[in-house]
Structures are given as C-alpha cells and as structure tokens.
Amino acid sequence: MLKEFYSKYSTKVADARRVVNHPLTYAEKVLFAHLFNSNELGVFKRGVDYVDFRPDRVAMQDATAQMALLQFMNAGKNKVAVPASVHCDHLIRADVGVEKDLPEAMRANKEVYDFLRSVSTKYHIGFWEPGAGIIHQVVFENYAFPGGMMVGTDSHTPNAGGLGMMAVGVGGADAVDVLTGQPWELRMPELIGVKLTGRLKGWATPKDVILEILGILTVKGGTNSILEYFGDGLDSMSATGKATICNMGAELGATCSIFPFDRNADEYLCRTDREDVARMARENRAELCADDEVYADPEKYYDKIIELDLSTIEPHLNGPFTPDAATRVSQMKSKMDKFPPVVEVALVGSCTNSSYQDLCRAASVARQAIEKHIPVKTQLIINPGSEQIRYTARRDGILDVFEQIGAVIMTNACGPCIGQWNRHTDDNERCNSIVTSFNRNFRRRADGNPNTYAFIGSPELTIALAIAGRLDFNPVTDSLMNTEGQWVRLDEPKGYDFPLKGFEVKDKGFIAPGGENHIQVVIDPESTRLQRLQPFDAWNGKDYIDMPLLIKTAGKCTTDHISMAGPWLRYRGHLQNISDNLLMGAVNAFNGRANMVYNQLTGAYEAVSAVAKQYKAQKLSSIVVAEDNYGEGSSREHAAMEPRFLNVRVILAKSFARIHETNLKKQGMLALTFANKNDYKKVSEQDKISVLGLTGLAPGSKLKVILNHPDGTKEEFMAEHTYNQTQIEWFKHGSALNFLKR
C-alpha cells in the first residue's frame, strides 16, 4: 500500500495544483491526493462543500471497535477494503498496578476480547492484544506515515499528524464506509495556519503550546477546520512533541492537525525501524509540505492565521472541567481561592503524553526528588504508552525512578484518562484537585467524582506538582524544603528524544491479519456485553408531531454527558444495556440536576433513560434540546445510537461538535440548529414539540418548529440543518448503513 501510495502521490498533487490553479497548502495536497474519484478534482468551497475521500487505513480501539465491527458484519463483506487494526486499550481498569490489573482485565473482558480477536481474524484486521499499548501511540510507532490519510474510531486519532499524516477521528459508521470500500464523506475543512517561531525553553513543552492555543481558540474554535503548522519553530520540536499538539487539537473541535515532513519525522521513522517509509517520504519531500508561495504569504492561503513565538510560551495548567480554561502556572497563585489547593493525585500517561521522550523528561524531574532529598507529597500513577516504550523505559531505569518516589506503574493502556480508574479514596464525592498529563478534564471523567477538579499539564509539570503537592507551585521560580531543612529548586527537565540504546521489546502483542473466513463469530444471545444490531426503522414519510421534550440541557454537554465512559465501557458492544446511561450526566435546564427529568406521561421526575423508555413503549418520539457545541469530546457513536434506540428523533441544539453531528446523521437522527439561538429560551419543560417541513427536506432548506405549551399557547421558530442529498437519504432510510445495504 505504501509503495503504491508514494509512487502516485507527487503526481496527484501536481494534477491538483494544475486544476485549482494556485499554490497549495500541505493539508490541501493530502486532501486532493485522497479524493475518492480523481475525476471530481476541482475547487471546493471550504466549510461548505461535502467531498468524498479514500483514506489509506482505519484504526479502532476496543471500546468503539465493538459497535463499528458489529455494523461491519451487517454490511455483507468478507474482508476489509483497506488495512485496519484493532487496539485493546480502553477496557483495562487502573486499580493496583499492571501485575494484577492486566490479568484481571483479561478475565473480566474475555468475551469482548475473544469477539474482537475472532472478527479481526475473519476479516483480515490486525489485532493488538490487551497490554500492547494505547491506540494512538501504537499507530504512531507502527503505522503513521507522511502524506497519508487515516480514520480512527477515537477522537484523538489526529495524533498521527505529528508525522505528517492526515488522521481524523470518526464514528464507527464512518469507519465502516472506509472498511467496505465506500466513499468517506467529509465537509471540506477550513484551514487555520499556525506559524511557530523561536524555540521552547526552560519548563515549556509542546503540551504548553497546545494548551495556550486552546486558550486562544476555545473548545469549538477549530470546528470543521484543519490546523496546519509551519515556521522555523518546527525544527527544534520532536515528532512526538508534534504528536502531542495534534492529539489535543481534538479539544479544539478540529477535524485534525498536521505538521509537514521534516528531519525530525525522518529520524523518528528510522528509529522505529521504518527506514523504507522514510526513504519514500524523502523522495516526495517537496510535496510533503506547503508550497513556497504559501509560506511567503500565508494570509492569502489560510482562512485564519495564529502566530506564536515559542520562546514566550510558559508552562500551563488548564482547567478545571474544560481543557480550554488556560492558565499559566505563574498565574495560579492568584486563583487559589477558587480551587482545592492540595494536589491529591498526579497522573502521567494517556495517548497525549506517554512517549519515551515524555517519560524520560518526567523522570529527570522525579530523580531530583531523590537526589535533593525532597519528600514527595502526592500519589503518583504512570501509564506507559506502549509495550515497546514500557520495555525500553524499564531497561533504561526510567520506571525504577518513578517507583522510587512511590509511583504505581499501571498497564500500557488509557486507564484513568478514559475513566477506567478505580480510585482508592475515602469519599468519592469530596471536593479535591488532581493534575494529569491527559487531554480532557471534563467533570466526572477520570474518577466519576463530580467534585474532582482536574487540571491538565505536561508530564514534567505533573511530576513537579506531585513533588510539591500544591497547585500553586511554580517550578520556574519556587523552592521546596528538603528533609534536611534546606530550600532547594528543581532544575529544568532534561531528556532524550530517543533511547540511547535504541528501542527494544520482546513481544509487541500483535497478531497480524490472517483472513480466515471460515471462522464463525459467536455472540451469545444471553450476553450482557455483546448484542447483534438490528437495523433502525426508516422514516415514515411524515412530520414529527407533538414530541414530548425529553430534556433541555444546560451548559456543556459532551459525549461524556450523553454516554458516560468509566464502568459503562463494559456495555459498548450492547446497545440495549448501554442505553441505560443516556444523558445521565447532562444538566436539566429546569432544575439544575443531572439525570432527573420530567415525565409527561406520569408527572414524575425520573432518570432520562427511564423516561425515554416509557415514551418509546407508548410509540412516542421525543426530542432533546441543547446549547452550543453539543457532543463535544469523544468520537463514541453510542452518544448518537442510544437516543436513536430509545426513539429520540431530533436533537435541536445551538451548534454541534463535528464528529457528533456526523454520527447523528449516520444513525438516521435529525440534527437541527436554532436559526436564532435565543429561541432556545422559549422551550418549556412540559412542551410538546413539532417539526414541520420534513417532506420537503432538501440541502439548505429550513424546518418549522412549533412549541405547544401546556397552557394551550403556541410559539414557532425556524431551525436549520447541514444535510446534503446523500445524508438526507440516510435519514429517509433510517441510517447510513441501511442506505448502503439497499
């Protein structure tokens, strides 16, 4: 696949440049080189036109792979159309340490792992076993390549952009399109150019670059956009550092982020035994970056420009509750009246920061606690990114350093970052603060406690705050008292981009795709973990009349709020069971409470899923009303499938996050936005809501929404949508998969 790709890549870029008749950004080159039909090459309107693409590969993590592969099994194919991989990283609990946690995960999740392994073997999919590592770190080490395009059933798939790959997080239905050889549809993204100059210094890291950008753009500032990085500041930044930046671009709502191919990417490929890929990339070097004219006059070619001098970047601590609450560590002292000041737990890992370089630099800080006799105040948890990193870090003594200051080494998996943390605490409702090197810090996400104030920083800063035990400690300026009564300072972090003795691993935990089509995939009808999917019903051709309001959500409503992770991950392959968590984290706008909504059938307040089930039993469709950026966060399509399963027909929001809006469309839902956002205020708790004009649904059309208030009065307003003609067919047929099969 790679040889064929690189043999044609530069020619495809040249053809695109000739047709559009202007210099190209790097993102445009990759997009044009992956058009599903090269005959459709033309000038596409950014942010408006939908375009069909042909990605090179698909990656799926175990929590989302279940639903994706259940859908693929219904597509009637005998093998996947592109290289694909499944990674078992989400279902492993972080409890007491890898020695006990991994065997327990193998026992508790055996049914799911056996299912994923058998489906992978049957349909020619590579399988990464439990403990092999976190999907995005493993993809970066083994699959990411400059100029390529991939989709992944996880929102942090853009991590691969650190090696110059266009990697996009999608729902399982989108992945099925690619796996079955169908066009993958994407709205042509707008382009945000990010010019980096200067050089990071002191405690500042690539993590701090993206944390600062989050403060600038916010969690919805990158929606339907690609962030393309350029400038002389890239020269001094490692490939894994760039991956960290691309990874957290997902928190901007960005389609993806991408860096050009350079000597750092070249070296990373060679150090991870992919010299042949590096050689082919070198031969295409001129087209693995933007054209010179673009760099000379970027304002002419990007829709927006952000410029950062890396030498001015300071260590950041973003949070709590949202990753765009950006705060420089130097400013934390002025905010300490707002947060619990003591850091109770520090956690290093996640797909964002678990590379060898991350662990090496973090260990240089941890080592100082030993050498300078500084007592460590905080519980410390470490999750290596892959078995290759873990094995090499153990060989080089890095993990030993962490253990000497009391750290617990967890499995090479997502663990606490995805809510798989069995936190040992006296009270899981108590107000407290934690610091992580993760990417998200939504309320309840890490430990299920709504009163845990989670902050995001670099691994180096996370270790420093573990040693100090306080949020307001600034390692740049502050001193700590050691056990000998002396005030001492922590030196700047130091570390190697690559292990001096090279990477080493005994067993990566990989089963290569085999293609044994005779294998029968068995799903026990009585299973509580897995359930075969039944097609959703098609639209009946009528307007939606008098739908009871299920919930009007207030404030942030992420996919964590819509379909919680943590203990609910065990039901990701069983739509009926996981639907019990529908919107249980969302805040009801009428009473300020979570999972407590008015039941129009009984007049009582009940859990959201319980009310939805009763409406469904009475053959009543229902509607959800929400505020801005509804569905922010994960790519989990369960957040779209659950309401669909429980007969919610419409989500009416002020705006949507990109992945979630697509997931809703794929599952036959009607995703609408207020033409006037102030109309959100008109919706009352006991309203019955009608949506009119569906028989005339067309691209660009508007629909009429009528609120039937309980006092007999009515109000009406207009709603908008972004459906194109194909997506309208998905809606009419009941889902994209229904349409594909017919």
- Rounded to whole angstroms, the Cα distance separating 79 from 122 reads 7
Does position 689 have pLDDT exceeding 80, yes or no?
Answer: yes
The pTM for the full model equals 0.93
**Residue 540: pLDDT band with limits 50, 70, 90:** very high
Using CA atoms in the order 169, 170, 176, 177, what is the torsion angle rounded to 10 degrees? -100
Selected residue with higher pLDDT from 740 and 577: 577
**What pLDDT does 635 receive?**
86
**Residue 740: pLDDT band with limits 50, 70, 90:** confident
**Residue 520: pLDDT band with limits 50, 70, 90:** confident
- Active-site option among 437, 622, 634, 635: 634
If you write DSSP's letter for every residue of 248-309 in order, what string do you get? HGGGGTBSEEE----HHHHHHHHHTT-HHHHHHHHHTGGGSS--HHHHHSGGGTSSEEEEEE
- Rounded to whole angstroms, the Cα distance separating 552 from 593 reads 11
Q: Which of the 8 DSSP states describes residue 485?
A: S
Reply yes or no on whether 518 is catalytic: no
- Active-site option among 34, 57, 87, 90: 90
What is the percentage of the chain residues whose pLDDT exceeds 70?
Answer: 100
Using CA atoms in the order 367, 370, 371, 377, what is the torsion angle rounded to 10 degrees? 100
Question: Which residue type occupies 664?
Answer: L
What is the percentage of the chain residues whose pLDDT exceeds 90?
Answer: 96
Task: Give the closest residue to 358 by CA, choosing from 245, 254, 506, 476.
Answer: 245
- Rounded to whole angstroms, the Cα distance separating 463 from 435 reads 9
**What pLDDT does 85 receive?**
98
**Residue 478: pLDDT band with limits 50, 70, 90:** very high
**What pLDDT does 263 receive?**
97
| Mean pLDDT, residues 573-583 | 97
- Active-site option among 87, 124, 156, 440: 440
In angstroms, the Cα distances linking 394 to 222, 234, 387 are 38, 30, 10
Q: What is the pLDDT of residues 2-19, one digit of tens each?
A: 999 999 999 999 999 999
Question: Which residue type occupies 333?
Answer: K
- Active-site option among 636, 658, 660, 721: 636
**What is the overall mean pLDDT for the chain?**
97
- Active-site option among 56, 89, 447, 687: 89
**What pLDDT does 517 receive?**
78
Does position 367 have pLDDT exceeding 90, yes or no?
Answer: yes
**What pLDDT does 363 receive?**
98
| Mean pLDDT, residues 602-629 | 98
**What pLDDT does 704 receive?**
98
Reply yes or no on whether 89 is catalytic: yes
**Residue 622: pLDDT band with limits 50, 70, 90:** very high
Q: What is the pLDDT of residues 370-413, one digit of tens each?
A: 999 999 999 999 999 999 999 999 999 999 999 999 999 999 99
Q: Which of 25-29, 83-87, 333-337 has the lowest mean pLDDT?
A: 333-337
**What pLDDT does 245 receive?**
98
Question: Which stretches does DSSP call E strand in 395-539?
Answer: 408-409, 432-436, 452-456, 480-481, 487-488, 510-511
**Residue 736: pLDDT band with limits 50, 70, 90:** very high
- Active-site option among 56, 95, 154, 174: 154
207: left (phi over 0), alpha (psi -120 to 50) or beta: alpha
Q: What is the 3-state secondary structure (H, E, C) of 333-402?
A: HHHCCCCCCEEEEEEECCCCCCCHHHHHHHHHHHHHHHHCCCCCCCEEEECCCEHHHHHHHHHCCHHHHH
Reply yes or no on whether 636 is catalytic: yes
